[in-house]
Amino acid sequence: MARDITKLPNLALDASRVTPVRSRMPLYLDLLPPCNNACPAGENIQEYLRLVKAGEDENAWREIVKNNPFPAIHGRVCYHPCEVACNRVELDGAVGIHSVERYLGDLALEKGWEFEKPRYSSGQKVLVIGAGPSGMSAAYHLARMGHEVEIRDASELPGGMMRYGIPEYRLPRDVLDAEIERLKKLGIKFVQNYVCKDLLADQAEGGFGAAFVAVGAHLSKRVDIPTDDASKMMDAVTFLEKVAKGERPEIGEHVAIYGGGNTAMDAARVARRLGAKDSIVIYRRTEEQMPAHEEEMEGAVAEGVEMHWLRTIQSQEEHDVTVEIMELDENGRPHGTGKYEKLAADTVILALGQETDSNFLRKIPGMQFEHDVLKVNPQTLMTSVPGIFAGGDAVPSERTVTIGVGHGKKAAREIDAYLNHRESGQRPKHALASFNKLHLWYFGDVRQTTQPELEPEKRIFDFDEINLGVGHDGALTEACRCLSCGNCFECDGCLGSCPEDAVIKLGKGLRYRFDYDKCTGCAECYEQCPVHAIEMIEEALV
């Protein structure tokens, strides 16, 4: 059926012909994928998924380690906010990004891939206090910039809470050791069993032009609970550290964990592996208010850990605890009801949060604090004392491995700018490629690959790794599920849809360009582009 051309936009009519008048034009652009935007470590997730899809696994791994030196670790312990943000959630489930990262990290260890050595030496030295994820990340990026880096750490072995807090069933120690060994080969110096007492003196004596403080939160918060035997009450950090060092604390058959965070879940699950018949979590708020990540709680429940919500411990007796039943007020805050009950407990493990040991920094003139952590410039991570930077658990932030690694990378960039007397360069981000901007027309329904796990009834008897990974085929499947949000992946849709042949293909990897002499601004290319790599803009009037 013929269309009434008088009702079409952008057309000028005269008695002899119809002449198109273009008022808008297409423009190729790149938007920010939501996965990249959500990654605390700043990984270019979309790019390494593309490389896996193209069969370039080593290049994909090298893309990750531009930003994060620990893919095999992060693929296991990161809570993957990238997947929460993934646009594919709106279709059939997020891309299994963390499973691909773990696959690449494990493959790199298997193949013996090493970091590229720095091309030159800057002649500058940087001191890092703390060998946890943030400190080692900063050291890694500084070393790749050509700086000489020394890490000093109070523990016997490096790794921080990755070694002494995260249980082996989540992070095998051979994986951790292998990732750290690669840092040593890069030339980073590790000094263990070193307790820093005077940071300024250490800097001066060692000739360090800057310092990065990344001390972990290894001090447990305490609460006064009346008890008949104080030896039957311990803090979760100490408990997990002892187990990580190979000790097996006597905890009895009935163990109560007081707290609702990830550390509480770890302590409860470790207690089961040490032979506790009953491992219960006591938390003063509701399940919805619990700070632990959902997958951690689900793993604990699968292993037989019981949850007791809206309860607080009032006292500990020989083989039980007395708890008060709580209820929420109109503002969602818990308060006591005056009703009590007893729960069996031979041991009580306190998991009420951790604090950093920052006393050695309080003697530095001008150093500012926010409660128990250092006050830093959020843009540069520099403290109130020039040349001293801080990150990870030592500053106000959520305490995860990935956030710590991201802080380390950011601090390294700022320390490099400081040492070279230049302004820090904060590049603006592209606009976000949200789901409603996409024009999806051909992506099939392919569900996320499920990672196999040890059966709960088997895994509570030892510390074998629970998650078994997806392997090459699973990683490839997940990489192929990526929608490439906001960035052209050369599907040729614009090329095939243009009625004026105004789209010119430039060759593999080079994308396309528009011939604006032919383009009429019809927007066919824009409408069909699945990833919103084309935008229609108003054409300036001449």
Chain-centroid distance, C-alpha 390: 18
Dmax over CA atoms of the chain, in Å, equals 103
Q: Extract the tokens encoding 327.
A: 């209820």
Distance of alpha carbon 101 from alpha carbon 506, whole angstroms? 31
Q: Regarding the domain delimited by 34-115+434-480, which CATH topology (the fold level of the hierarchy) does it fall under?
A: Fumarate Reductase Iron-sulfur Protein; Chain B, domain 2 (1.10.1060)
Distance of alpha carbon 449 from alpha carbon 480, whole angstroms? 11
Strand pairing of 347-350 and 254-258?
parallel
Contact predicate 281/253, CB 8 Å? no
Count of CB atoms situated within 10 Å of the CB of 10: 13
What CATH number is given for 125-219+355-419 in this structure?
A: 3.50.50.60
Residues of the chain with CATH 3.50.50.60: 125-219+355-419, 221-351
Residues of the chain with CATH 1.10.1060.10: 34-115+434-480
Count of CB atoms situated within 10 Å of the CB of 418: 21
Three-class HEC string of 359-383: HHHCCCCCCCEECCEECECCCCCEE
What is the structure's pLDDT at 129? 97
Question: Which residues lie across from 18 on neighbouring strands?
Answer: 13
What is the structure's pLDDT at 412? 97
Give the type of residue at 531: V
CA angle 155, 159, 164 (to 5 degrees): 70
Contact predicate 347/275, CB 8 Å? no
Give the type of residue at 471: G
Q: Does the 221-351 domain belong in CATH 3.50.50.60?
A: yes
pLDDT string in tens for the chain (542-residue length): 444 434 444 444 444 444 556 789 999 999 999 999 999 999 999 999 999 999 999 999 999 999 999 999 999 999 999 999 999 999 989 999 999 999 999 999 999 999 999 999 999 999 999 999 999 999 999 999 999 999 999 999 999 999 999 999 999 999 999 999 999 999 999 999 999 999 999 999 999 999 999 998 777 777 888 887 888 899 999 999 999 999 999 999 999 999 999 999 999 999 999 999 999 999 999 999 999 999 999 999 999 999 999 999 999 998 999 999 999 998 889 999 999 999 999 999 999 888 788 888 999 999 999 878 899 999 999 999 999 999 998 888 888 999 999 999 999 999 999 999 988 777 788 999 999 999 987 676 777 788 888 999 889 999 999 999 999 999 999 999 999 999 999 999 999 999 999 999 999 889 999 999 999 999 999 999 999 999 999 876 43
Distance of alpha carbon 88 from alpha carbon 485, whole angstroms? 9
CA angle 531, 532, 535 (to 5 degrees): 160
- DSSP letter at 207? T
Q: Write phi, then psi, for 190 (nearest 5 degrees).
A: -110, 130
Burial 28-56 (b: 16+ CB within 10 A, else e): beebbbbbbbbbbbbbbbbbbbbbbbeee
Q: Structure pTM?
A: 0.90
Residue position matching structure tokens 């054409």: 539
Q: Does the 5-30+488-538 domain belong in CATH 3.30.70.20?
A: yes
What is the structure's pLDDT at 332? 87
Distance of alpha carbon 450 from alpha carbon 443, whole angstroms? 20
Residues of the chain with CATH 3.30.70.20: 5-30+488-538
Q: Extract the tokens encoding 294.
A: 């959902």
Count of CB atoms situated within 10 Å of the CB of 485: 26
Q: Extract the tokens encoding 246.
A: 């190979």
What is the structure's pLDDT at 540? 66
Measure the N-to-C terminal CA separation of the chain; round to a whole number of Å: 36
